[in-house]
A = this chain, B = another copy of it.
């Protein structure tokens, strides 16, 4: 961990470079520091995975994917709706300050990347952080050793 999953309406792929957003969010995670200045998330454990939905419905939108609804058209826009949901799952035991710092930084990165879309579409963004409550955890990695050298 940390593990960031992005679920979004598929119309965004035509509007922005989601791979670049993934990289920007991973960089943001790598830059988070605790109060002692130490990197919070180990490099080899950082991953961001983004998934456009195959089918979706948002607010009062029409049946077709990415179709907008009456309220959007009445507002004088394209009527197109979009949604991005970002969920970061991290290990238990980090301080409240670190959680807030990570959340604020990721939100800022996502909002900056998506700013042109907020101006163009009727779009919602939600970012949530969960602390994993797993009852079993196993890891195996040939990534961590790349970053844990003496």
Residues of A within 8 A of B (CB): 1, 3, 5-9, 13, 18-23, 25-26, 30, 43-65, 71-72, 75, 81, 83, 85, 88, 96, 99-100, 102-104, 107, 111, 118, 121-144, 146-147
Contacts and interface: CB of A to CB of B under 8 A. Distances in A.
Contact of A9 (B49, B71, B147): B49
B63 A20 contact: yes
19 contacts: A3-B126, A5-B7, A18-B54, A19-B56, A19-B65, A23-B61, A23-B63, A46-B59, A49-B53, A50-B55, A51-B53, A51-B54, A75-B146, A99-B135, A107-B138, A123-B141, A129-B137, A130-B132, A130-B134
